[in-house]
Structure 1
Amino acid sequence: MEFDVEKSVVLVSFLTSFFAVFLAAGIVIGVPSIANEFGMNNVVQNWIITIALLVVAVFTLPAGQISGKFGVKKSLVAGVIVFLIGSIGACLSFSSTSFLFFRVIQGIGGAFSNVASMAMVVQAIKPQNRGKALGFTVTGVYLAGSLSPVICGFLVYNFGWRAMFYFTIPFFVLCIALMILRIPGDWKTYENDKIDSIGYLIYGIGILLFIYGFTSLMTTMGKLCVLIGFILLIVFAYYETRVNTPAFNMRLFKNMKFTSSNVAALCSYLAVASLTTILNYHFQYVRGWNAQMAGLILIVTPIIMAIMAPNSGRLSDRIHPQKLAAIGMAIATLALFILIFLDANTPIWLIVVAMVLQGIGMGLFTSPNTNAIMSSVPPNETPNASAAQSAMRTIGQTMSLGLLTLVFAWIMGSLKLSSQHASMVVQASQIVCIICTIICIIAIFASLVGIRSKDEFNIEKPA
């Protein structure tokens, strides 16, 4: 019975991760079609992706405490239901405003799904098999990234962008049914904790202002938002050390292994998250390919990741996970360096080489780094660790796309993205790749710092 529950937990985690990422990756392919239908300029167009990630970033830390208090399975079911509502609403959108609103709903559901899914795997699976289970879950992420460009490219090209959302609806219903019928009981670690609503409010406003300001940093309002957001995040960190039941246990960051792994995660996602969008823009706006053709070549990186992730997860149960993570980031850095020179004359074979290297690097990094984070805290802190890991990923992804938006707005102003402005697309893409290469190098050093750390299971909540 215990083995059946473990298999069901891993399967549900795999499926929820798969279809959430399937839509997220599909949105990248569908962005030009969505923007064209609703008449969006390049700034609003980039918000199609960024807004959902921003909402996930806002709700991720609260999701950690809430799922620990009310149960990770209940939180996962609720998260998938909310995400499903957002998907149905996106299908029925009639304007850019309504579409972006339902992307916000998807973001709320995604935050709870991300945190609860990972926490459930860690709590349900024995420690000696944890890396393997996490690797399988991460494989779902990368397998979705592999299949999504092909399937969504086909759907968008032949049936329109709404077909992407309709396609996923039955599978989310299946995930909900599996959780209710195949996974008995629940896991609660903060059942007696009070909800830290003040902490949620400070963090939510702080991260919202910081990331929003980052995407419009060239304006006075953007600079002001970044400053206020940064101050509020400092206030949040201080406040959380003074309350008995914090929204997030900041003392976890006294553990160097936990801290360095999270810094590496933040930098890695900040460095690579915008690459799919950059390559998609390159293929569609610079090369003049359609969505289906772009989708076919964009599967290269996630296919390699899907192959690497389960193997690196198993390896991380036997080899120091941060050694594997550091090697992975070094390979990903090489991929980014190649893409610095991306232009209309770059050979396709060289672009594919860079995509393969990125897949190997991130596939070797993600599962071991996740294992390092989740294994560096005591069992009762797994929802917090999952929330931190999810927050680093989402904040990194959001800031990466924010960086993309910022650079494209700087180069193109409010011009609409099109093949007529291909030279500007190339220039903006090269600048983003230069910045991301530097960030990737920082991620390597963060992983190396964690190798020397012996900190583990020494964290307590504030008295």
Structure 2
Amino acid sequence: MTQPCSDGLPLPQRYGAILAIALGITVSVLDGVIANVALPTIARDLQASPASSIWIVNAYQLAITISLLSLASLGDLIGYRRVYLAGLVIFSITSVFCALSDSLTTLTIARVLQGFGAAAIMSVNTALIRIIYPQRYLGRGIGINSLIVAFSSAAGPTVAAAVLSVASWQWLFAVNLPIGIVALILGTKFLPANSQKSNSRRFDTTSAVMNALTFGLLITAISSLAQGHSMLLLTAEIAALLIIGYFFVRRQLNQTSPLLPVDLLRIPIFALSMGTSVCSFAAQMLAMISLPFFLQGSLGRDEVETGLLLTPWPLAIIIMAPIAGRLVERIHAGLLGGIGLATFALGLFLLALLPNDPTNLDIVWRMVLCGAGFGLFQSPNNHTIISAAPRHRSGGASGMLGTARLLGQTSGAALVALMFNLFHTDGTHASLILAGVFASVAAIVSCLRMTQPHTVASK
């Protein structure tokens, strides 16, 4: 184990540490998107309906959502390195379980466990980077981490297409094992321990349980509505959500170091930015999960073609995100986000209006429009969320940012199932229309931020 020096790690060790983080983040982000392309194939192989197969994606996202903040808090107490390495072990082992699954039930359970491992990896990676990099190069380290996340998201459809062209869907999960082993070896050797741990407080188990129940009940209620469960069950879930959620928020407001920093929502521009984040990621997931069913089921494209046709979307995000990152220094993030989200909404509506027999070009340029709009919005929005919070609350703001992203993605995945159940033959079309509505609402909310100062207090 490498001990951190007073200001980051020396160069040879720093390279090994960042490579360990890069590998872990790559596989955990990839597995959030890589299954989308193969979802129709997996559903057929496991004899599951399209609506119920959404749980293959939703279970992973749900597990991350309910445990991310708790694991981040645990990292403050016992060390980021321990949480990260434990996450790698869990993620790698459960990836094998995913590959060996022979039913929708076993695969869903394996994906839940895999999601907990991914949450441990994601919850502390930024905190580790702050220890690895000297303060003067911290921006560079955060930039590298953001690029890895963006690249992994972009590579998801392409990697899935490449794997499926030569192997079965099980290999989408099996390839995580050798990568995880390499990351574990590097992490054990190079990742530093916390230079300072928080010994003044204990892990708030009650808040962790309430956090899991609140977000779990929220997603479960949406899923129950999507799957057409009984009104009695849905009503019970909503009632439990309101009761537990109320006491959870009340508990957080009375703590100096809350697990869920809801007090930051009192900052208007922060709250508006969180709203745009949830809506935009819900819209993105609605489109990215439903489109493979349309491309393969209605248009007859195979898995490889589907992966390639989805790739222009995240590639456009990679191109546009750094441009937006520079523009936000001169243009208000509310305006940039509004323009980006309006472009995103336009692309979604145009995808919904595809002709009956579209060419690849018809699909690709609409994908590029969606990706470019989302990329123009994402960087300024993230910048606003982090900078709107006081400087000493940056960690809490970062956790809220991740939670908003995951909440939006998980809700979007559940809403796809709802659209497929309500519109049996036009589920993708309905999902894209709903996605366009979400993006349009987010665009309006983003423009409302223009009434707020460009930056807020950073004390």
TM bucket (normalised to shorter chain) is: 0.7 to 0.9
What is the distance in 2 between the residues matched to 1:257 and 1:182? 39
What is the distance in 1 between the residues matched to 2:415 and 2:140? 34
Partner of 1:300: 312
What is the distance in 1 between the residues matched to 2:337 and 2:21? 22
What is the distance in 2 between the residues matched to 1:9 and 1:368? 29
Code of the aligned partner of 1:456: A
Which of 261, 276, 284 aligns to 1:249? It is 261
Partner of 1:325: 337
Q: Deviations over 1:185-219 (max 9, x none)?
A: 32656442222211222221122122111122243
Decide whether the 8 Å contact of 1:35 with 1:41 is kept in 2: yes
Q: Deviations over 1:256-307 (max 9, x none)?
A: 3332222221111011112122221111000111111211211111222223
Decide whether the 8 Å contact of 1:79 with 1:113 is kept in 2: yes
CA distance 1:28–1:362, shift in 2 (3 Å): same
What is the distance in 2 between the residues matched to 1:211 and 1:10? 34
Q: Deviations over 1:381-403 (max 9, x none)?
A: 34322221111111100100111
After the TM superposition, which residues 449-460 of structure 1 pair with which residues of structure 2 at under 5 Å, given as runs?
449-451=448-450, 452-453=452-453, 454-457=455-458
After the TM superposition, which residues 251-270 of structure 1 pair with which residues of structure 2 at under 5 Å, given as runs?
251-270=263-282
The CA deviation at 1:236 is 1.2
Partner of 2:428: 429
What is the distance in 2 between the residues matched to 1:272 and 1:440? 9
Which of 386, 390, 394 aligns to 1:374? It is 386
Which of 353, 356, 360 aligns to 1:348? It is 360
Partner of 1:416: none
The answer to whether structure 1 residue 96 and structure 2 residue 104 are counterparts is yes
What is the distance in 2 between the residues matched to 1:358 and 1:128? 35
What is the distance in 1 between the residues matched to 2:68 and 2:237? 20
Decide whether the 8 Å contact of 1:132 with 1:310 is kept in 2: no
Count of residue pairs the alignment pairs up: 445
Code of the aligned partner of 1:106: Q
CA distance 1:309–1:76, shift in 2 (3 Å): farther
Partner SS for 2:457: coil
Identity percentage over the alignment?
Answer: 23
CA distance 1:127–1:273, shift in 2 (3 Å): farther
Partner of 1:144: 152
The answer to whether structure 1 residue 230 and structure 2 residue 242 are counterparts is yes
Partner of 1:394: 406
The CA deviation at 1:103 is 0.3
Partner of 1:415: none
What is the distance in 2 between the residues matched to 1:122 and 1:330? 35
Partner SS for 1:274: helix
Q: Deviations over 1:1-30 (max 9, x none)?
A: 657376666555443332222222221122
CA distance 1:191–1:61, shift in 2 (3 Å): same
Q: Deviations over 1:357-413 (max 9, x none)?
A: 11112222223322332333345434322221111111100100111111111223x
Partner of 2:3: none
Partner SS for 1:216: helix
The CA deviation at 1:316 is 4.7
Which of 70, 80, 98 aligns to 1:62? It is 70
Code of the aligned partner of 1:385: A
CA distance 1:188–1:356, shift in 2 (3 Å): farther
TM-score by length of 2: 0.87
Q: Deviations over 1:209-266 (max 9, x none)?
A: 2211112224312343234323422321112112454322322222333322222211
What is the distance in 1 between the residues matched to 2:196 and 2:366? 43
The answer to whether structure 1 residue 441 and structure 2 residue 440 are counterparts is yes
Code of the aligned partner of 2:362: L
What is the distance in 1 between the residues matched to 2:121 and 2:196? 16
What is the distance in 1 between the residues matched to 2:136 and 2:341? 25
Partner SS for 1:76: helix
Partner of 1:112: 120
Partner SS for 1:185: coil
What is the distance in 1 between the residues matched to 2:64 and 2:358? 36
Partner SS for 1:372: helix
Partner SS for 2:48: coil
The CA deviation at 1:314 is 5.2
What is the distance in 1 between the residues matched to 2:372 and 2:133? 26
Which structure exhibits the higher relative contact order, with contacts defined as CA atoms closer than 8 Å and separated by 6 or more residues?
1
What is the distance in 2 between the residues matched to 1:6 and 1:231? 47
Partner of 1:164: 172
Q: Deviations over 1:105-132 (max 9, x none)?
A: 1111122222212343456657886665
The answer to whether structure 1 residue 404 and structure 2 residue 416 are counterparts is yes
Q: Which sections of structure 2, spanning at least 5 residues, go unmatched?
A: 1-7
Q: Deviations over 1:302-336 (max 9, x none)?
A: 22222333444455567655554333222212211
Q: Which sections of structure 1, spanning at least 5 residues, go unmatched?
A: 413-423, 459-463
RMSD of aligned residue pairs (Cα, Å): 2.7
CA distance 1:134–1:409, shift in 2 (3 Å): farther
CA distance 1:447–1:363, shift in 2 (3 Å): same
Decide whether the 8 Å contact of 2:37 with 2:157 is kept in 1: yes
The answer to whether structure 1 residue 272 and structure 2 residue 273 are counterparts is no
What is the distance in 2 between the residues matched to 1:163 and 1:327? 40
The answer to whether structure 1 residue 211 and structure 2 residue 211 are counterparts is no
Code of the aligned partner of 2:219: I
Q: Deviations over 1:83-140 (max 9, x none)?
A: 1122121122233222111101111112222221234345665788666544433332
CA distance 1:84–1:376, shift in 2 (3 Å): farther
The CA deviation at 1:435 is 2.0
Code of the aligned partner of 1:212: T
Code of the aligned partner of 2:444: F
